[in-house]
Amino acid sequence: MKTFKSYDQANKWLLTIAKKTNNDALKAVSQEAYKNVKDYTYYDEGTMYLSGSLHSDFSRGIVTMIAPQVRRLYYGDYSAGPGNRQAIPLWWEEVIRRNAKNWKKMYIQLYNYYKRWLDGI
C-alpha cells in the first residue's frame, strides 16, 4: 500500500493518475462508442458509418459522422433501405443506454491500472 508523507504528495499522486486515466480513457471510450454505434445505424453502402472513422477525433472524445443522410435518418426517416435490421432513429441514445456501464468499467480498469503502475514508482 502506498503511503504518503504529506497531503500535497497524495494529492499530486491522485492528480497524476487522473490525468493519465482521462487521456487514455477518452480515446478508448470514444473508439468503443464508435464501434457500438454500428449496431444501430443504418448501413446500406456503409458511407455514413465509415465517415465516422474519417471525421471523428477519438483523442478528444469526438465521434462524428458526416454524410448527407445522417440527419434525415437520425431524426426518423424509416425508409432507409436494406442494411442493418437493428437500425433505429436516435441511435446514439440507444447506444448510450446499452453501453454506458461498459464504458464506465473501461474507465475504472484504466484508473486501477495506473494506480497500480504509479504505486510502484
Grid cell locating 120 = 510502484
Looking at per-residue pLDDT, the higher value among 43 and 1 belongs to 43
What pLDDT is stored for residue 19 in this prediction? 92
Q: Cα separation of 34 and 61, whole Å? A: 10
Chain centre to alpha carbon of residue 57: 11
What pLDDT is stored for residue 82 in this prediction? 67
What pLDDT is stored for residue 80 in this prediction? 55
